[in-house]
Structure 1
Amino acid sequence: MSDPIETAIFEKLSAADPKGVGGKSIEPAEVAKALQPEQWQRMLPRVKAVALGLMRQGRLTITKKGKAVDPSSVKGVIRLRLPTEAETAAALAALPTATADDDDFA
């Protein structure tokens, strides 16, 4: 089952960045307004939370003034864009790796 917020984020990004090279960005408010035009302010925290999850998976980059940022330490206006290949590789490298000791089903 697909998350409608995630779907809306990637639809807006594909319209802004049709080549998918991580150049163009969107505002989280654009996604919130597309999902709930009348009460988009209520939707905004959920859009940002989904964006944070996508960033941690290496599927999205959160930026401020055109530079990738750590959203937990930034305040103010942020933007969302597709990650570059280097950003995706860095995000995936930062994920914890599974070890044989982690297997609870053995």
Structure 2
Amino acid sequence: MRAVDDARIEHVIFDLLAARADGASICPSDVARALHDDERAWRALLPCVRDVAMQLARHRRLRFTRGAATLDPEAPGRGPIRLRLPARA
């Protein structure tokens, strides 16, 4: 069982993005840190944050990015990723 439920993680993702300028991104660790102060706890939460973000990306509610490139959330490759809202139509 997750220490923090998926709905709470999703809520924090969108709250953090709403607090940023249009087009800005956040790191998955920003989300985990917003949910836990303890380093061990937030690091343990990172896989859950990525799982929730992947589900949101599958539904086109979120994008995984590295630099200007949008990544496939199923195979983001190695290296840091950022979470960003989809471009507005």
Runs of 4+ with deviation above 6 angstroms: none
Counterparts of residues 45-64 of structure 1 (less than 5 Å): 45-64=47-66
* Residue 68 (structure 1) shift: 0.5
Give TM-score, length-normalised by structure 2: 0.83
Unmatched tracts of structure 1, length 5 or more = 87-106
Q: Distance in 2 between matches of 1:85 and 1:54?
A: 16
Contact 2:16 2:31 in 1 (8 A): yes
* Comparing 63-72 and 49-58, the one that deviates more: 63-72
1:73 Cα deviation (Å)?
4.1
The residue matched to 1:80 in structure 2 has which SS?
Answer: strand
Q: Separation in 2 of the partners of 1:44 and 1:16?
A: 21
* Structure 1 counterpart SS, 2:64: strand
TM-score (norm 1): 0.71
Higher alpha-carbon Rg: 1
Q: Secondary structure at the match of 1:58?
A: coil
Does the CA contact (< 8 Å) of 2:64 and 2:76 recur in 1?
no
Of 14, 17, 27 in structure 2, the residue corresponding to residue 13 of structure 1 is 17
Q: Secondary structure of the equivalent of 1:3? A: helix
Structure 2 gap ranges (5+):
1-5
| Matching residue of 1:28 | 28
